[in-house]
Amino acid sequence: MNVNKALTARSITVLGSLFTLTGLVAFLNSSMPPTNYSKQIDQFTGVSLGFVIAALLEMATVNYLANSCCQEEKNDNCESSQFNKMALAVKKMNFCHKLDVFSRIAFPVAYLLFVIFYV
């Protein structure tokens, strides 16, 4: 699995979403009258911002784990435990791939359910 291949595009998409949502929240807060309680739009934008931050953290976690796995493969010089190190590296890469695939499915489905039930 080549995580670095799509990292730039995913980073730009997530950070663009984060900046857009932050600007939207600032615009909405400036155009609404101040209140002492939380409005529904505040809750909606807060949860949306939480999803974007969760996607950013997931992307950073998968990238870190994949890069640490690749570094371990490059630093292997010992022949006696090479098989164990390779098995561990394969397990890490499988975990990274499973986490990435799960997140690509779970985040949009969870957000869609949130939008359906909230609105």
Which CATH number goes with the domain that contains 17? 1.20.58.390
> How many domains are contained in the chain?
1
Which pLDDT band holds residue 98 (cuts at 50, 70, 90)? confident
Q: How far apart are CA 10 and CA 57, in angstroms?
A: 12
Average confidence (pLDDT) over 67-75:
66
Higher pLDDT residue, 21 or 92? 21
Most confident of 5-19, 39-53, 64-78: 39-53
pLDDT of residue 49: 92
List, in sequence order, every beta strand (DSSP E) within 9-110: none
Domain limits at 59?
4-118
pTM to 2 decimal places: 0.76
* Tens-digit pLDDT profile for residues 23-67: 999 998 899 888 899 888 889 999 999 999 999 998 888 888 888
**Exposure string (b/e) for 25-56, b if CB count within 10 Å is 16 or more?**
beeeeeeeeeeeeeeeeeeebeebbebbeebb
Residue 45 near residue 21, CB atoms below 8 Å: yes
pLDDT of residue 3: 58
Which helix (H) or strand (E) segment is 72 a member of? helix 40-74
